[in-house]
Amino acid sequence: MGGFVAAALAFPTALFSFALVVVVGYWLLMLVGGLGFDALHGGHGVGHAGHVGHAGHAGDLGHGAGGHATHGGHGGPGAQDGHGADGRGAHHHGGVLGALGLGGVPVTVAVSLLVALAWFVSLAGTVLTSGAPARGGVFAVALVASWAGTRLLVRPLSRLFPEDRPATRGDFVGRVCVIRTGRVTADFGQAEVTAEDGSTATVQVRTLTEEPGLAAGRTALIFDYDADGEHFLVAPFDPALPGD
């Protein structure tokens, strides 16, 4: 036991031992505290609490389609870039980690794997070698081995952490909306549409022909999006009629 402790506190294992203590403490905190699975995603958990991140998507769509705020889009800063509070899947790519090929899983998972593998390799190397030059080589090998091992592990693990696809304007096509302006013409109109996650957005809508029935409170079907005009095209829709 004494030899194990001595090796764990010797260079270079000591560098990873302290990091491993932090990692183990973090996961124990998750288990004991019962913070839920979203906490594993770092900033991403905040973005998705109560669908805040998704509401941000809808907010961006409403803004992009005419600069109007949403009713359900209280995503804060996330509503400005359309990717929720995580800034477009930061929990999956992790900046530097993503550039190293370690994306696809939450940052906490990737870092935990890196630390654990580096600690194990450095511990084995410390036991088998002696002297500063050899220990320096063990440190380098531990870094490379932990990166390679983590990269191999995150590929199958990434299937357990599917990345959320950002909402797009095309997602509203085919949905029913509620007219919020007194009328809808080829040049004017707004409607409220509900996204798949339940958040709502006020968007710009237009008609191809004059439709006197499209007044405030009436339902309409979004059948297309005009990218040049940045508005949706709608037609009258009555959900009570079986033929519609």
Tell me the residue type at 123. Answer: L
Predicted pLDDT of residue 208:
86
90-124 confidence digits (pLDDT tens):
444 457 878 888 888 888 999 999 999 999 999 99
Predicted pLDDT of residue 86:
39
Given CA atoms 36, 37, 42, 45 in this order, what sign does their dihedral have? negative
Q: What is the CA radius of gyration of the chain?
A: 26
Q: End of a domain among 103, 138, 160?
A: 160
Q: Can you read off the two tokens belonging to residue 26?
A: 């973090």
Predicted pLDDT of residue 34:
65
Predicted pLDDT of residue 113:
94
Residue ranges of the chain with pLDDT lower than 70? 34-94, 163-167, 211, 240-244
* Tally of domains in the chain: 2
Predicted pLDDT of residue 25:
92
Domain holding 19, by residue range, is 2-160
Looking at the fold, whether 31 and 133 belong to one and the same domain comes out as: yes
Looking at the fold, whether 189 and 137 belong to one and the same domain comes out as: no
Predicted pLDDT of residue 206:
93
Looking at the fold, whether 30 and 65 belong to one and the same domain comes out as: yes
Predicted pLDDT of residue 239:
74
Residue 241 lies in a domain: no
Looking at the fold, whether 185 and 231 belong to one and the same domain comes out as: yes
- The backbone torsions φ and ψ at residue 125, rounded to the nearest 5 degrees and listed phi first, read -65, -35
Predicted pLDDT of residue 93:
47
Predicted pLDDT of residue 35:
52
Looking at the fold, whether 19 and 76 belong to one and the same domain comes out as: yes
Whether 220 and 177 have beta carbons less than 8 Å apart is answered as yes
Which is it for strands 219-226 and 231-236: parallel, antiparallel or unpaired? Answer: antiparallel
Q: Around Cβ 74, how many Cβ atoms within 10 Å?
A: 16
Q: End of a domain among 140, 160, 180?
A: 160
Residue 130 lies in a domain: yes
Average pLDDT, the chain: 76
Distance CA 141, CA 144 (A): 5
